Structure formats: C-alpha cells, structure tokens
Chain A
Amino acid sequence: MSSTSNPTHLIPYDSPSHQRHAAIFGLWVFLVTEILFFGGMIVGYVVYHYEYPEAFREGSRTLNVWAGGAMTAVLLLGSLLIAVAEHLTEEGDRDNSQSWRGTAVWRLAVTACLGVVFLGLEFYEYHELIGEGLFPGSQFARQRFTDLPYSGRAAELFFLMFFCMTGLHAFHMIVGILLVGGIGTAIQRARQPERLGNTLTVIALYWHFVDIVWIFLYPLFYLVR
C-alpha cells in the first residue's frame, strides 16, 4: 500500500500490505455474515415462490420494471465511481502525490449522491404501492387478486417479502451513503489522505456488496412476471 520510507502500518502488523490484507479479510468475514443475514430471507422467498408461483408473477407485474432497471444502473454507476476512487488512492499513494485527492473526493461525492437518488426512486415506489393499497396488512387490497388462491393472501406474501427485503437493503444503502460521505469528507480534510486507503477499500467493498444484493433483488421481484 505504501512505500517503506513512509511506513503507515500499525504495530500489530508486520507491514502495510499485512495490515491491508487483514482489513480486507476482516471485511470479507463480515460480508459472509451479511450474506447469511440476507440468506434467511432469500430462502423464505424461494419457498413462497415455489408454493405460490402465479401469485408471485401477478405481484411482480404490478412493479415497474423500468424504474427497477434505472435503480440498478444508478447503483452500478456508483460502484464504478467508488472503485475508480479506490484506484486513484492506490496510485496516488504509490506516486507519493496528492493530485488525486480532488478527483477521488469528487467521485465519492457523486457515489453518495447516486445512493440518495436510488433511495429516492425506491421510496417513491413505496409511496405508489402504499397508495394502491399494496402494503401488507389488514388494509391490503386483496380484491385486486381475487382470482388467485387464498383470496389474494398469497399475493400479499409477495409484497411482504418485497417490502422486507428491499427495506433491509435500503437500510444498508443508508449506512453505505453515510460511510461513503464520511470517507470522502475525511480524505478531503486529511493531511495524509493516503493513510485512509485501507478505510476506503473496506467501505468500497461494503458498497459493492450492497450493490450485489440489489443485483439479485431486482430479478427476484421485478422480473418474475
């Protein structure tokens, strides 16, 4: 990560690369727990989809496939920008220059803004669905699904899974936006921003993971028509 003339590693580690490896490995272990955290809901989704395929198809038809596609594109663009910012930090550290700082901070700011745009689109969709009476509960508009078994209760399950899983993802997005905004501010203000390389890397890994979760949520909910 950094030259030996400018050691930036902490005491427990043998070298900067050792410290970097530990940070990345530790974050991946955390991500494995996150995979299983979402995994429980994914298993629930798979079982209910297996048992009520027509209800899930009908539920999926009520979602806007283009809005979901736009949300996916926004997230992927954010992932690209944060990955580029990470590369800029690494290259700037190697070259021992700080010319990269402004470019990296700008990309991180745009990434955070894209996250806000994503949440805006998602919450607008929530607003639309709730307005149509498709939020699970006693007020659920089951009369729209009377052709389906259980008087639309199976379709209600689809929306239950939709709000739970995308809501959990949205919570992770909020955390990601705060982290990306925080590291951008820290890099902008730091005297030695290259020392924040490992922090940026683990935050970028988290952001990419949240992106991957959405990559699967999109087809699971929007494209099973």
Chain B
Amino acid sequence: METSNSQRPLYLAFLGLMVLLAATIGCSFVFSGLLGAMVAMAIATSKMLLVMFIFMDLRRSPSSVRFAACAGFLWLFFAVFCTLADFTTRGWNEVPEKTATRELPTTYDRVEFEN
C-alpha cells in the first residue's frame, strides 16, 4: 500500500525523533552535570510531545482527552516540584554525598547513628 498523505506526519515525526535521539546522545558527550541533565530532559520532553501529538494523535483529539493527558503530567510535576522544593530548602547547604565520610558497616543490619 502506498504511503498516503495522512501518514506523512507519522514518518516526519519518526524522522524528528531519530534526529532528537542523535542530539541527546551527542549532547551527553558535550554537556555534563546539571546542565547535561537539563539538556537531556529538554530533548526527552520534545520527543514526548512529538509522540503525544503525532503518534497518539492528541492534535486531533477532543479537549477532554487533552485535559486528561495534561492532568497526569501536571500531577507528576507537582510531585517532583514539591518534593524537590522540600529537599533543596532544608538549609543543609550540602547534599549528604559531599559531607559523608563515615564508613558504613558491611552488613545490611540496621545502622544506628550516634548523636
């Protein structure tokens, strides 16, 4: 069966996804740390939007379906944002990794810290 015009966006979206996949791998060699993670997440979000709007056809879906889709990601955003807001504002200044020097026991028994 020939490729019809209605299928063209699907192939273009796949092409875009492959380009973004190459970009995310390439960027991982260029950027590292927090910047690298942010670039990787931005590209992943772009790929997600392509899949959602083209493959999952959200662009032609009724508003109720789009609302349901947005609701899921909104609650996930709340979960991540509120949790990070807590952890990053506790005033510890340092994450545990930078301050931890104590050797832990080699067993998996409960660890009792001294005050």
A-B complex is real: yes
Instruction: Give the B-binding residues of A (Cβ under 8 A).
Output: 21, 24-25, 28-29, 31-32, 34-36, 39-40, 42-43, 46-47, 49-55, 57, 65-66, 69, 72-73, 76-77, 79-80, 83-84, 87-88, 91, 99-100, 103, 138, 148-151, 153-154, 204-205, 208-209, 211-212, 215-216, 218-219, 222-225
Query: Is the pair B1, A35 in contact by a Cβ cutoff of 8 Å?
Result: no
Candidates A54, A69, A100, A103; contact of B21 at CB < 8 Å: A69
Query: Is the pair B83, A80 in contact by a Cβ cutoff of 8 Å?
Result: no
Query: Is the pair A72, B21 in contact by a Cβ cutoff of 8 Å?
Result: yes
- Chain B residues positioned under 8 Å from A103 (CB to CB): 1
- Chain B residues positioned under 8 Å from A80 (CB to CB): 10-11, 13-14, 55
- Chain B residues positioned under 8 Å from A29 (CB to CB): 68
Query: Is the pair B88, A50 in contact by a Cβ cutoff of 8 Å?
Result: yes
Please classify the interface of chain A as helix (H, G, I), strand (E, B), loop, or mixed, using the class held by over half of its residues: helix
Shortest Cβ distance from residue B9 to the other chain A in the assembled complex, whole angstroms = 9
- Chain A residues positioned under 8 Å from B84 (CB to CB): 46-47, 50
Candidates A55, A77, A88, A225; contact of B14 at CB < 8 Å: A77
Query: Is the pair A21, B62 in contact by a Cβ cutoff of 8 Å?
Result: yes
Shortest Cβ distance from residue A52 to the other chain B in the assembled complex, whole angstroms = 5
Q: A25-B68, A34-B72, A216-B48 given. 17 additional CB < 8 A pairs?
A: A21-B62, A36-B76, A36-B79, A43-B79, A43-B80, A50-B87, A51-B96, A51-B97, A80-B55, A84-B7, A149-B96, A151-B103, A205-B56, A211-B55, A215-B44, A223-B25, A225-B28
